Every structure is written in structure tokens, then in C-alpha cells.
Amino acid sequence: MSVLVIPLEGTTAAGAACPGTGLGLYTVPQIKAAVSDSASLYSSCSYGKTMQTALVADPPVRLNCSGSSNGVPWSWATCSFDDINGWANAADEALAARGVSPDASFYTVYLVPPSACGFVGLGYVGCDGSYKCRVWLSADYWATGQAYAHELGHNIYLVHAGKYNPDGWYDEYGDWSSWMGYCCNDRCPNAPQMWQLGWLTVQQYDASSLAPGQTVQVTLPSQSTSNSGLRIDVSGWAPGVDPIFVSYRTRAAGDLQLADDVAGRVLVHQAPIANSFDAQKTVWRAALLAGGAWAQAAAGITVRVASLGSSGAAVSICRQGGAAETAASCQAGVDWDCDGLVGAASPSCSAFLGSSAAVQPPPCSPPVKPPPPARPPPRLPSPKPPPPRPRPAPVQKPSPPPPKPPAPKPPPSRPRPAPAARPLPPARPSPPSPEAALIRRG
Ligand SMILES: [Zn+2]
């Protein structure tokens, strides 16, 4: 992915910062280092599938204190979408005057100087190139590689990685296993997002490969060093329950700065993602150590971790046949209720393991089968994604995406709304709400 990074400054003719803004806080070499960090993360996390090349405008682009773009005024005094869009259009024109075509890259990151903007970062969610793929980063994050990775992640159809807190509130940035969660320690996207991007190959289980009462044993290499994960599609017997993703994460490569509650654990996520252009939230469900288990009651699935080691995580996946063991399951040594115990080891079997149990047929559970062949991530038949859905922009009301310059004349009416721009939240500790945090930045 080709990226053009444009540091912006709003200055008077004398070179002073315009009212409402200030000069940049970071040097071009510092910006280049952060851009390089982002490129390294993409390369590492994608196992070399997505290489980021970037050009940083040097020196920064200086704009006037106000202006208009296609008849829409902008200034540095406010931070409406018309303002950030106007800065971007004006920056493109300024760079074109330097001989740098706005079309030289597919993605453009505009580095916003100290301003009225309360966001940390903004990025269109999904961008197929039918309009300019843009990202904005606020002044404090010009030198933070994870901020670039996060916002550009929105451009390639990722949305936030969230988690339900114990009180049931969904914190849309609360998944610390993904760079689409809270900023800023280095880590890759989570397993469902990696699969969405085509970076992760999963062993997949579904109704045809995981029968009621069946337990399968799987060794999961670390996702941090191997493009391996596991996906359980439960739609065949539990419609409406999102697919379950299981992955093992260790502090290595792009995951070098994994948080303590993620590193060296087996992670469980759920997400309804159907294809590479399906911008869907992901939900963190569990981070398991050896001996840990997580159960999804509606689908009757239990994920259990037997051991963790350098060669991977030994994990079992059990699909419940019924709420309790039966004489037949006890006799056959099948974990029908997915409590992790079978036969005589299971207390619930004590009543069944008498002489009468021996005549019962085994339950309708096939023997453990080897895992099915790995499936590549889904891809739409056409590389062209669906048009982005209009969503309310978190900053101000949406404005039109920029027409391709030069515009023959100002549009008589506003074209379609801009695709949603999503904010990047600040670093931990998590705020009471992302919106409040954006305002509180810092
Ligand atoms: Zn975001």
C-alpha cells in the first residue's frame, strides 16, 4: 500500500502560526521514523503480504490561515469536516505545485498541527479508491507508528476491536490484542481482523467437521510468528451466533509489545465478518492460560487450553451433544456435556457406569477426526468492494468527499456524504467513554 504523509502547518505570511493553531511538534525525521514503524508492523503482521511504502512531504506543507475548497470555506479556528477536508485539498494543491501528484499514492495521511480538533486520528472506514483515501492524525501522534497503523486500518475496512466490560458496557477500543483497540503499544490486529485482511489462514470447523459430542484436539502455533488460527462457524446449528476465532499470541515480531493480559495466552474472539470488505466490529471473549476454558452456551462450544509452549498451544474444542452425560456417552468415553471429563473421571458418569450401561449403544458421535484442511480467508469474487455506507462522522456532520481537482465548478448541491471517519482513542487508562476521551486527549 502506497502512502503519502503530509505534515501540515497553518502560518501567516510572516511565518507565525495562524490563530487557532500552532507549529508542528515533531520533525520530519521523527515522522519518518514513525511511518517506518507502521510499515514494519504491516510487513510483520501480514507475514510480508502487505508492504507499506511511504513518502513524507519534506518540508511540511504550509497553508494560509483560511481558504475555501470548491466554494466551501475552511480555517484553522474550527475543526469541522469542512475544515479538515479543506486543509487536505489545499495540501494536495500545494504539493502538486511542488511537482508531487496527489495520485502518487493510494492513501494519504494528513498530519494536523495543534488545532481545535479533539480527535486523535480519523480515517475513512473502507476506501476503494473511488474517492481519495484519507487519514488525519492530530499533533501529538505524528511520531506514533501505531496511530498510522490504526487509521490506515480503517481505510482497509477494519473497525474497532472491542470488549465487553464486566458491567456489560461495550468498550469499542477495549481489545488490547489489536492495533484497532486503544493506542499505542506495538501489536498486530486480532485474529478475526487478520483473517479479514487475508493475513491469517485458519483451520475451520463447522457442522460438517464438528459433530455433537465431538471434541477435537488442535495445536495452535503462535499467531505472532505463524499465520495460523482457528475459526468455528457455528451457523449450521446455532444460527445468529457469530463465528468464534481462536488464536495464540506471544511477544514476538509485530506483537513485541503485547499487553500482559494478552501475551502468552490463547485468545477467543467473535466477529460476524464475512469477507475482506465487511467492516464489522470484533469482540474479545477470553484470554486463556493453560487450564483455562471458555464456553459459548448458545452454540454449546467450549474452548479449553491444555498447555502452552514454544511449539504452540494445545487446545481442545468441544461441541456439546447435550446438557448432561448419558449412559451411552459415559460408556463410550465421550465428553457429551463438554465439562472436560469423560467416563469414570466424570462425576456425572458414576450413576451410569454400572452393568446396564454396557448394553447401551454409543452416542451419535464420530471418532475424533483430523482437522480439516486450512481454508484461506474469504475473498469477494470481484476486487471492487461495495460502496462505503454513509455513517455519521464523529466530529461534525458529514460533508461531501472531495471532488477530483480541478473541479469544473462548485457542485450545485452536496454530493454523497463522506464515508465515516473513525476516531482513534488515547492511550490507557480507558476513559468512561471514547468520546469523552477524545476531548480529554492526552
Ligand atoms: Zn479508530
Residue 379, helix vs strand vs coil = coil
Kindly report the CA angle at 56 between 55 and 60, in degrees rounded to 5?
Answer: 150
- Distance from C-alpha of 20 to C-alpha of 80, rounded to nearest angstrom: 13
In 107-243, the DSSP E strands lie at 107-111, 121-123, 133-137, 161-164, 170-171, 201-205, 215-220, 228-232
Render the burial of 335-360: b for 16+ CB within 10 Å, e for the rest.
bbbbbbebbeebeebeebeeeebeee
Q: How far is the CA of 361 from the centre of ligand 1 (A)?
A: 55
Under 8 Å between Cβ of 113 and 8: yes
- Distance from C-alpha of 137 to C-alpha of 320, rounded to nearest angstrom: 48
Under 8 Å between Cβ of 325 and 332: no
Q: Which of 423, 427, 394, 432 is nearest to 182 (CA)?
A: 427
Q: How far is the CA of 341 from the centre of ligand 1 (A)?
A: 43
Q: How far is the CA of 76 from the centre of ligand 1 (A)?
A: 23
pLDDT single digits (tens) 184-233: 999 999 999 999 999 999 999 999 999 999 999 999 999 999 999 999 99
Q: How far is the CA of 154 from the centre of ligand 1 (A)?
A: 7
- Distance from C-alpha of 270 to C-alpha of 231, rounded to nearest angstrom: 9
| The C-alpha cell that represents 107 in the structure block | 492513501
Q: Which residues are CB-contacts of 154 (< 8 A; sequence separation ≥ 6)?
A: 123, 124, 125, 126, 135, 421, 422
Q: How far is the CA of 119 from the centre of ligand 1 (A)?
A: 10
Under 8 Å between Cβ of 81 and 399: yes
HSE at residue 236, side-chain half, CA atoms within 13 A, is 12
- Distance from C-alpha of 390 to C-alpha of 400, rounded to nearest angstrom: 11
- Tell me the chain's radius of gyration from C-alpha atoms: 26
Residue pLDDT tens, the chain, 442 long: 999 999 999 999 999 999 999 999 999 999 999 999 999 999 999 999 999 999 999 999 999 999 999 999 999 999 999 999 999 999 999 999 999 988 889 999 999 999 989 888 999 999 988 889 999 999 999 999 999 999 999 999 999 999 999 999 999 999 999 999 999 999 999 999 999 999 999 999 999 999 999 999 999 999 999 999 999 999 999 999 999 999 999 999 999 999 999 999 999 999 999 999 999 999 999 999 999 999 999 999 999 999 999 889 999 999 999 999 999 999 999 999 999 999 989 888 888 876 444 434 444 444 445 555 555 555 543 333 334 443 433 333 233 333 333 333 333 333 333 444 555 544 443 332 332 222 223 2
- Distance from C-alpha of 43 to C-alpha of 38, rounded to nearest angstrom: 9
Q: How far is the CA of 18 from the centre of ligand 1 (A)?
A: 28
Residue 341, helix vs strand vs coil = coil
- What pLDDT score does 391 carry? 40
Task: Name the DSSP letter for residue 93.
Answer: H
- Distance from C-alpha of 184 to C-alpha of 176, rounded to nearest angstrom: 10
Q: How far is the CA of 86 from the centre of ligand 1 (A)?
A: 21
Q: How far is the CA of 170 from the centre of ligand 1 (A)?
A: 15
Task: Name the DSSP letter for residue 347.
Answer: G
Q: Which of 13, 4, 305 is nearest to 135 (CA)?
A: 4
Task: Name the DSSP letter for residue 183.
Answer: B
Q: How far is CA 271 from the centre of its chain?
A: 11
Q: How far is the CA of 421 from the centre of ligand 1 (A)?
A: 8
Under 8 Å between Cβ of 200 and 368: no
Q: How far is the CA of 153 from the centre of ligand 1 (A)?
A: 8
Q: How far is the CA of 239 from the centre of ligand 1 (A)?
A: 30
- Distance from C-alpha of 118 to C-alpha of 114, rounded to nearest angstrom: 10
- What pLDDT score does 376 carry? 52
| The C-alpha cell that represents 409 in the structure block | 465548478
pLDDT single digits (tens) 46-73: 999 999 999 999 999 999 999 999 999 9
Under 8 Å between Cβ of 182 and 176: yes
The identity of residue 149, as a single letter, is A
Under 8 Å between Cβ of 426 and 441: yes
| The C-alpha cell that represents 431 in the structure block | 476513559
- What pLDDT score does 424 carry? 52
The identity of residue 226, as a single letter, is S
Q: How far is the CA of 65 from the centre of ligand 1 (A)?
A: 28
- What pLDDT score does 354 carry? 62
- What pLDDT score does 431 carry? 31
- Distance from C-alpha of 387 to C-alpha of 124, rounded to nearest angstrom: 12
Q: What is the pTM (predicted TM-score) of this model?
A: 0.81
Q: How far is the CA of 339 from the centre of ligand 1 (A)?
A: 39
